[in-house]
Amino acid sequence: MMEDGSIRPLLLGALSGKSTQPTPVWFMRQAGRYLPEYRKLRTQAPSFLDFCYNPDLAVEATLQPMRRYAFDASIIFSDILVLPHALGQEVWFVEGEGPRLTPLADPASLSFDGFDAHLAPVYEALRRLRAELPREKAVLGFVGAPWTLATYMIAGQGGREQWPARTFAAREPQRMKALVDTLVEACTRHLVAQIEAGADAVQIFDSWASSLDERGFREWSIEPIARIVRGVRAQKPGVPIIGFPRGAGFGYEPFCEETEVDGVSLDWTVPMSAAQRLQAKGVCVQGNLDPARLKEGGAQLDDAVTHICEALKGGPFIFNLGHGISLETPPENVTQVIDKVKALTS
């Protein structure tokens, strides 16, 4: 029960270290291109960034899967690259190919002038979303982690195993540190503002953590995220924070210990035994269904959901994917998963 007498979201119970019945469910990229109603809505904005900065469209996109499915949480429709855009870097999206940026020549060229005003539409969308949803449905904000943002900002796009960012970090570690310091501040400010706008919890996506070696993972993923966590908690104590160092492998345990996140999102390669060890340490684990299994559906999908739920439902646990929903996913497969999770964990 919340202070205002409303029902506490299941997701917040799990992130506080409790085992909930049923297990809360939400999916990364649960709003987006796999839904026909989203594809229709997308035509109302000339570009993807225009769509993200339009509160009417962003809220409607976020609500679409909440109307279709019994999700327990909703993550605001936005993009991680609004941060470099707000810092003054040129960002655009090429249809069918993904994001493009003017490669960053000098981290010192970034500026916080107009940063908050630039991101004001995101905060307005969050305020509207929180007002639209019942209190038992959690609202999530998010950012991309400094390393992941830096990979796009340096290369101008994703891919290539983040070679441009890795070589930049090896060649010019002090300039990489300057860039990461700027991004730590930007991420912290953005998360705090999202919480003030109505987010009940936030997630930090380090989507390209897998590209780092052991030393790089500690220096460019763990340490910056730990600083963000401390910065957010200093201003908004008690608001849960989820980390997602995708592809971290054996690095998940030190990541959780050193960042002190409340929850960790696991990619689909993480075995149940490793997830159980994290639960035993009080970390809420989130995940970790392979999106390919979700796309294919059928009996194998039920089997995969059962395997995860039977292993993890005894500890703090949020059912999610190991990454985002793929474009090719039939919408009815999402219903199949949610129904199965609720049947197994109620």
C-alpha span between 237 and 220 (Å, rounded): 25
Q: Where are the domains of the chain?
A: 10-345
Sort strands 138-144 and 73-75 into parallel, antiparallel or unpaired. parallel
Q: What are phi and psi of 266, to 5 degrees?
A: -105, 135
Query: What is the percent of the chain where pLDDT is above 70?
Result: 98
pLDDT value at 6 more than 80: no
279 by DSSP, 3-state: which? helix
CATH code for the structural domain at 10-345: 3.20.20.210
Q: Which residues pair with 318 in a beta bridge?
A: 286
| pLDDT at residue 298 in the model | 98
Q: How confident is the model at residue 1 (pLDDT cuts 50, 70, 90)?
A: low
Q: Do the beta carbons of residue 331 and residue 297 sit within 8 Å? A: no
**Catalytic residue IDs:** 29, 33, 42, 79, 152
DSSP states along 195-217: HHHT-SEEEEEETTGGG--HHHI
CA 4 to CA 2: how far, in whole Å?
A: 5
Q: Which one-letter DSSP state was computed for residue 221?
A: I
* Residues 160-186 pLDDT 10s: 789 999 999 999 999 999 999 999 999
Residues 104-136 pLDDT 10s: 989 999 999 999 999 999 999 999 999 999 999
Per-residue pLDDT reduced to its tens digit, 88-111 = 999 999 988 899 999 998 999 999
Instruction: Flag whether the pTM goes above 0.85.
Output: yes
d(CA 165, CA 152): 8
